[in-house]
Amino acid sequence: MSQLTYLKAINRTLAEVMRADPRVFVLGEDVREGGPFGATQGLAEAFGEERVRDTPISEGTICGIAIGAAQAGLRPIVEIMFIDFITLALDQLVNQAAKAHYMSGGQLRVPLVLRTQGGAGQRAAAQHSQSFEAWLTHVPGLKVVMPSSASDAAGLLQSAVADPNPVVYVENKALYFQREEVPDAVAPIPLGRAAIRRPGRDVTIVATSRLVAEALAAAEQLAGEGIEVEVIDPRSLVPFDLEAVASSVARTHRLVVAHEAVGQGGFGAEIVAQVQAAAFDELDAPIERVTAPFTPIPFSPPLEDAYLPGKDQLVAAAWATLGYQIGG
């Protein structure tokens, strides 16, 4: 076991997959220098500049090159510095990468990984702090993962690189420098398999990315008040482990869904829809959602702190489900 940050776990895993498979290469803006946060630090020195390719500042071009390389038999790992900039790559990602296998009758594969990061709380303002994962989950042909811990970052990245389909791997910048114990050899984590982070019997909280730690903090507080919260981390949004969530709801009969993105059109709404269809008779209260407010992300530190959903909202949402009485 080693003490690693979330960021270092990604860096170490990138080196491991490149060492294991010569078809894997990295491309993006400033990746030879490590990228904006250092995720690709040292890879150019270890593997050469042919396999760690700096690109012009053109996200559409970067993604297009990666798609062509993937169809030619390579396994590119694209870095888009901030998920806010994925807007510039969506034509290639959505109209080409996601469709190629289907439109070619199965003759083409696009085994690429697009790494990007989102999330607020770092005083990066409204154009560098957004959470756009719901956009990507709406596109057939794309897989979307959101690791919440260093160990999961390593395991999910291995599976994403091995997958024959395009995978969008969404990191959270607020998690980058958090340390935890990580095994020296992390096993791949299958895409589409949720993790129960804490068992409980009274309320289920399904939380993604940074909100997983907030949900665990809320569960700890509620435990002191006699409430046992089960915390589930989906880890993968597409494919989504509905069975794990529905099974939990069958035990607790109450559900809170939490993510950092705004509520309107967020992936939490999809979780709510799927759960009520699969486990409606198990629910004893309306499903609660904890999300960011429907507003651009403030630059002002006090306003940004107020904007971010966290433990307090999760505690309130759990109590709201517990306080609901049918016919009352």
At 37-48, the pLDDT tens digits run 999 999 999 999
Q: What is the pLDDT of residue 101?
A: 97
Average pLDDT score over residue span 281-307: 97
Q: Which two tokens stand for residue 72?
A: 């030619």
pLDDT tens-digit readout, 266-279? 999 999 999 999 99
Residue type, 84: D
Closest to 130 in 3D by CA, of 178, 170, 176: 170
pLDDT of 325 higher than 90: no
With bands split at pLDDT 50, 70 and 90, how would you rate the model's confidence at 324?
confident
pLDDT of 328 higher than 70: no
Residues 194 and 54: their CA atoms lie apart, in Å, by 35
Domain positions in the chain are: 2-182, 195-323
Average pLDDT score over residue span 71-75: 97
pLDDT tens-digit readout, 171-181? 999 999 999 99
2-182 and 195-323: same fold?
yes
Looking at every residue in the chain, the average pLDDT score rounds to 96
Q: DSSP H helical segments within 180-259, as ranges?
A: 211-223, 242-252
With bands split at pLDDT 50, 70 and 90, how would you rate the model's confidence at 64?
very high
Which neighbouring-strand residues pair with 27? 53, 78
Residues 18 and 221: their CA atoms lie apart, in Å, by 43
Q: Residues with catalytic annotation?
A: 59, 128
Question: Could you say which of 2.40.50.360, 1.10.357.10, 3.50.50.60, 3.40.50.920 is the CATH number of the domain covering 195-323?
Answer: 3.40.50.920
Q: What is the pLDDT of residue 242?
A: 98
Q: What is the pLDDT of residue 326?
A: 55
Are 135 and 186 spatial neighbours (Cβ–Cβ below 8 Å)? no
CATH 3.40.50.970 for domain 2-182: yes
